[in-house]
Amino acid sequence: MITKYTKHALFALMVVVLAGCGGETKAKTFKVTGKIHSGGSPITGLPPGDRPMVKFESSETKEPSYAKVSEDGSFLADLPAGNYKVTGSAGFMANTEKKGPGMVSKDLKVEADVADLDIDVANKSKKK
């Protein structure tokens, strides 16, 4: 026979067990902010719906992450610590075989927040 006390005890046990489920600890992330541009000028003239792109590819996992790029070219990404290949593109079409100028890559080590990361798609040098 289940008493009122037993029901409460079972309910409390269930709450404790469920509280332990899904309690994965997320890795600490760092904010990476900067601006993508072409020679200091905003990237304009892209087809409707197309935007500059900033991709971060983890050197360890090869997993890509994409930054949110605003109209003025500023971007923000939240990334765990690690080494990344950062690729900036003047738009989706710059990622195809028919690409012209408009794509640049550089290496980035994330150990803390990174501010003012400069991605100049007109400058092909790999500045860090």
Distance CA(13)–CA(18), nearest Å, equals 9
| pLDDT, the chain, mean | 79
Burial class of 67 by CB neighbour count within 10 A (0 to 12, 13 to 18, 19+): buried
62 confidence band (pLDDT: 50, 70, 90): very high
Distance CA(124)–CA(105), nearest Å, equals 8
**How large is the C-alpha radius of gyration of the chain?**
23
Task: Give domain limits for the chain.
Answer: 29-120
Query: pLDDT per residue over 65-110, tens digit each?
Result: 999 888 889 999 999 999 999 999 887 555 444 444 578 999 999 9
pTM, to two decimals: 0.70
Domain 29-120 has CATH 2.60.40.1120: yes
| Residue 10: CB atoms within 10 Å | 11
